[in-house]
């Protein structure tokens, strides 16, 4: 802790030694001298009109550009209700603030019903603290889901089980519209699959979050930002799509919005029918026995997602809102598998297991948010949020296991199970954030209370020809409660050539788990057991960043953060779950949180080329651990490794031209895993790995546009002990604008060469593993979307998502 607070003290001393900023500032007014808020302001070089910086006017019409070197500039201002206006040439000496005379803007002579508002945003925006992947409108993104988009995002990887990682680190915290999801592992992957790509506006990748964010997520945060409409009047859009790989797939959706000066009403509905097939090869060697498993699996889900809400503008400063969204999903998973059990010394088959599963599932969730926002022209802002959510997960699995002789024709025995597993997760949060001017900077502070209650009732039944009987020894009831209380404070301030930000977050964690069931005692009688545990701990999570922008065309920044990942409730449940006759999973009540300290140095050249060098040290990192029992059976559980050290280098270059937009991202890292878990269980693995993501979009004229997306991942390490093989893929698509540019038709082919099939190997604790998943990854997709209604953007309360939004262009139809 002394080292971390030393960092903070260093930044405070730097702030006291820095000088006051030199800035260019002014005000935009209408002809009757009324201020014009939410206008887009561009600072341009006078000699060639190239853009230096973007800004947005405040509610009083004011704007400013800080840390501007000496030179000749122009100010360009655009607003949807006014004609574009320019200033005279600004002669900025660089050694004093420059006040631009008020710029008068003339109102348009006719209403916006006769004009078209367009705004072109780059595919990738790279900033010092985050990367924004603007997926809305991209050709290859249509007709997929949130999980597929994350797999193609810069610096994000997913293993064969859809566990997410960033730059070689697990522990990714996923947010939806700024709110963390409580799910992990398979439950998180299934939830992301239920979010259609048509709902998603952008994906924000935040590697070193500030103290304002929850401390969870040692690799960082991925925030999935859903679409919002800011237009006045009544408007909406519809979309529908079809895809075919092995099985046909269908998707469609409707979005409606009505907005005036006092209220905004909105709602959306989407559906996705996505039947798919994949095969799994899973080979396992334990001592003198070789298990050669081949599985064919068909997943047939149907997803329905919805969102509705309202915002009421109490005044120009205050807004009250309510939001309800959710997912209703159901379907079935069917699989058949064959596993020859081979005696290795003689390479002879001793028996063959033929198994199958039939799983019916429903996964429903509903979330409610009530919020209040107050913001005035002095920079004071208050946000209050209350959230409540319920995830309802139901699964019923029928699993026959039939043994045959070595010829595979004579049945020797059979064991049939049925597993019923209802799971309910209740989430409640209260959050308050306040921002205010302080010491010529910005001070933010707030707090959050979060409560999660998970109830699980697992029942296993033995199936006989005429009846079913519950196996009480293999049934379990597990309840888990988690309460996290947090307070934070964060401060940032701009100086002449330096911007500093530092803060600290305190989180108090209280967890309680209770696993109940029956077991046999020493005399062979059934007795109840209660494996309960409690944990209470409080941690500090400092964060800091300093940016050197004396030369706006070449900016450097240094950032530091400390983060945590807490065990999920699934990984803590000590009950033994049977996966098949030879595989079991079991939670670990002794699993500790993992902590990560990260430092990054970032350089941004000409607002485009971004390079980042990072280092992180993770203590008690989670790993999937395979342990053997009864010679041939395996337990899958999670353990804490001693540590993981990761050094990463990331370089990104986005390019935006009139006829082309695209980006290239190269993410490379070195990672070292180390642990001593006992004789024969020493982990000492290191890996050099890289991933490459490229996207290129070309405008062909007459409404045509084509797009290519490629990605490559080199061999790496997953879950601490699994070595993954390299994989790559290429997507291609084209779109055509129709119906006066209100409609769009898109066609695309994903994974053209069928190369996104994950493979992994492991040699640990006397067990050798090999797995390969062959997915239905190559698909042909066609999608149609249509926008209708008003496109008049509400300027007074429009919230922009970044200063790099291009200057709005207003052109007659």
For 364-399, write each residue's pLDDT tens digit: 999 999 999 998 878 899 999 999 999 999 999 999
pLDDT number for residue 300 = 95
Helix boundaries (H) for 521-592: 569-572
| Angle value at C-alpha 437, between 436 and 438, nearest 5 degrees | 110
Alpha-carbon distances, residue 197 vs 143, 144, 194, 277, 302 (angstroms):
6, 5, 9, 21, 15
Of 97, 76, 79, give the one whose Cα is nearest residue 87. 76
Specify the pairing of strand 722-724 against strand 716-718: antiparallel
DSSP structural state of residue 67: S
Rounded CA gap, 801 and 130, in Å? 12
Contact 612, 649 (CB under 8 A): yes
pLDDT digits (tens, 9 = 90+) for 550-580: 777 788 999 999 999 888 877 777 666 666 6
DSSP letter string, 180-221 = E----HHHHHHHHHTSBGGGEEEEEEESS--TTS-SB-SSEE
Give the long-range contacts of residues 339-342, CB within 8 A, separation 24 or more: 339/291, 339/292, 339/293, 339/294, 339/582, 340/291, 340/292, 341/289, 341/290, 341/291, 341/632, 342/289, 342/290, 342/291, 342/292
Rounded CA gap, 427 and 191, in Å? 16
pLDDT number for residue 631 = 55
Contact 81, 52 (CB under 8 A): no
Burial grade of 754 (CB within 10 A; 0-12, 13-18, 19 or more): middle
Locate tokens 């989670």: which residue? 622
Rounded CA gap, 491 and 341, in Å? 63
Of 656, 491, 708, 502, give the one whose Cα is nearest residue 126. 656
- The secondary element (H helix, E strand) that includes residue 284 is strand 276-286
Tokens of 278: 């994949």
Rounded CA gap, 123 and 347, in Å? 55
Helix boundaries (H) for 710-780: none
Of 734, 716, 742, give the one whose Cα is nearest residue 783. 734
Rounded CA gap, 638 and 583, in Å? 15
- φ, ψ of residue 778 to 5 degrees: the values are -90, 115
Rounded CA gap, 398 and 581, in Å? 14
Residues near 767 by Cβ (< 8 Å), separated by ≥ 6?
Answer: 284, 285, 286, 626, 628, 634
Residues near 811 by Cβ (< 8 Å), separated by ≥ 6?
Answer: 115, 116, 118
> Strands (DSSP E) along 3-130, which ranges?
23-30, 40-45, 51-56, 62-66, 71-79, 82-86, 90-92, 98-99, 103-105, 115-118, 124-126
Alpha-carbon distances, residue 61 vs 56, 87, 381 (angstroms):
9, 15, 17
Of 487, 490, 483, give the one whose Cα is nearest residue 506. 487
Strand partners, 613: 601, 649
Contact 420, 396 (CB under 8 A): yes
Strand partners, 25: 64, 99
> Strands (DSSP E) along 549-620, which ranges?
554-565, 576-580, 583-586, 594-605, 609-619
Rounded CA gap, 663 and 651, in Å? 11
| 624, 577, 190, 752 alpha-carbon torsion, rounded to 10° | 60
Rounded CA gap, 667 and 688, in Å? 11
Contact 40, 63 (CB under 8 A): no
Of 678, 679, 677, 580, give the one whose Cα is nearest residue 632. 580
pLDDT number for residue 763 = 81
Strand partners, 365: 327, 391
- φ, ψ of residue 474 to 5 degrees: the values are -120, 25
Helix boundaries (H) for 403-527: none
Rounded CA gap, 164 and 160, in Å? 10
Counting as low any pLDDT under 70, the low residues of the chain are 1-22, 48, 108-121, 128, 229-231, 519-524, 526, 529, 574-584, 624-635, 675, 677-681, 719-720, 765, 791-813
């Amino acid at each position: 802790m002394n080292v971390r607070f030393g960092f903070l003290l260093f930044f405070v001393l730097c702030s006291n030694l820095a000088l006051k900023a030199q800035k260019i500032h002014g005000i935009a007014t209408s002809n009757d001298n009324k201020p014009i808020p939410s206008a887009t302001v561009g600072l341009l070089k006078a000699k060639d009109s190239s853009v230096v910086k973007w800004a947005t006017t405040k509610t009083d019409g004011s704007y400013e550009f800080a840390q501007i070197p000496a030179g000749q500039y122009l100010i360009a201002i655009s607003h949807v209700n006014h004609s574009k206006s320019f200033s005279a040439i600004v002669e900025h000496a660089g050694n004093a603030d420059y006040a631009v005379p008020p710029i008068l803007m003339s109102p348009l002579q006719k209403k916006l019903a006769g004009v078209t508002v367009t705004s072109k945003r780059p595919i990738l925006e790279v900033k010092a603290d985050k990367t924004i992947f603007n997926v809305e409108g991209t050709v290859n993104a249509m007709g997929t889901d949130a999980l597929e988009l994350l797999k193609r995002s810069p610096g994000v990887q997913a293993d064969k089980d859809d566990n997410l990682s960033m730059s070689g680190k697990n522990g990714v915290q996923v947010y939806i519209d700024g709110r963390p999801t409580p799910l992990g592992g398979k439950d998180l992957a299934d939830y992301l699959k239920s979010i259609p790509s048509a709902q998603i506006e952008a994906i924000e990748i935040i590697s070193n979050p500030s103290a304002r964010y929850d401390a969870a997520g040692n690799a960082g945060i991925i925030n999935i930002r859903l679409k919002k409409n800011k237009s006045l009047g009544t408007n909406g859009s519809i979309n529908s799509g079809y895809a075919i790989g092995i099985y046909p797939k269908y998707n469609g959706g409707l979005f409606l919005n009505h907005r005036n000066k006092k209220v905004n009403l909105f709602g959306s509905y989407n559906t996705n029918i996505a039947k798919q097939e994949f095969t799994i090869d899973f080979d396992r060697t334990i001592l003198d026995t070789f298990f050669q498993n081949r599985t064919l699996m068909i997943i047939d889900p149907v997803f329905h997602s919805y969102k509705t809400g309202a915002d009421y503008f109490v005044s120009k400063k205050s807004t009250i809102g309510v939001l309800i969204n959710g997912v209703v999903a159901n379907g079935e998973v069917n699989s058949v598998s064959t596993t020859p059990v081979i005696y290795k010394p003689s390479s002879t088959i001793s028996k063959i297991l033929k198994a199958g599963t039939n799983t019916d599932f429903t996964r429903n969730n509903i979330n409610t948010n009530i919020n209040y926002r107050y913001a005035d022209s002095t920079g004071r802002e208050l946000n209050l949020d209350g959230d409540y959510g319920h995830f309802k997960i139901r699964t019923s699995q029928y699993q026959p296991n039939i043994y045959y002789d070595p010829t595979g024709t004579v049945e020797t025995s059979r064991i049939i199970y049925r597993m019923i597993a209802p799971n309910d997760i209740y989430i409640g949060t209260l959050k308050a954030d306040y921002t205010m001017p302080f010491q010529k900077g910005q001070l933010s502070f707030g707090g959050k209370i979060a409560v999660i209650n998970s109830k699980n009732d697992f029942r296993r039944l033995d199936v006989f020809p005429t009846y079913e009987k519950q196996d009480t020894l293999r049934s379990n009831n597990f309840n888990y409660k988690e309460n996290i209380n947090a307070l934070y404070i964060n401060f940032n301030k701009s100086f002449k050539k330096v911007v500093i930000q530092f803060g600290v977050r305190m989180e108090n964690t209280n967890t309680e788990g209770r696993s109940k069931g029956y077991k046999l005692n020493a005399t062979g009688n059934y007795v109840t057991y209660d494996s309960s545990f409690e944990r209470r701990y409080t941690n500090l999570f400092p964060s800091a960043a300093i940016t050197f922008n004396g030369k706006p065309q070449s900016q450097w920044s240094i950032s530091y953060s400390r983060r945590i990942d807490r065990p999920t409730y699934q990984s803590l449940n000590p009950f033994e779950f049977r996966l098949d006759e030879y595989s079991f999973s079991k939670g670990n009540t002794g699993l500790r949180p993992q902590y990560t300290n990260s430092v990054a140095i970032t350089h941004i050249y000409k607002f485009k080329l971004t390079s980042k060098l990072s280092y992180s040290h993770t203590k008690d990192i989670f790993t999937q651990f395979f342990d053997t029992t009864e010679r041939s059976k395996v337990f899958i559980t999670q353990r804490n490794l001693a540590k993981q050290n990761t050094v990463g280098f990331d370089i990104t270059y986005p390019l935006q031209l009139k006829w082309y937009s695209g980006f290239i991202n190269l993410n490379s890292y070195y990672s070292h895993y180390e642990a001593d878990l006992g004789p024969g269980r020493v982990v000492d693995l290191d890996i050099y790995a890289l991933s490459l993501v490229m996207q290129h979009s070309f405008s062909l004229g007459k409404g045509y546009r084509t797009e290519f997306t490629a990605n490559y991942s080199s061999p790496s390490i997953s879950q601490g002990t699994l070595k993954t093989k390299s994989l790559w893929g290429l997507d291609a698509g084209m779109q055509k604008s129709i119906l006066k540019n209100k409609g769009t038709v898109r066609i695309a082919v994903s994974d053209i060469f069928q190369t996104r099939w994950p493979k992994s190997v492991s040699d640990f604790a006397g067990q050798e593993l090999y797995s390969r998943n062959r997915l239905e990854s190559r698909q042909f997709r066609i999608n149609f979307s249509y926008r209708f209604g008003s496109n008049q953007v509400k300027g007074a309360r429009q919230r922009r998502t970044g200063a790099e939004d291009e200057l709005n262009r207003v052109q007659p139809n």
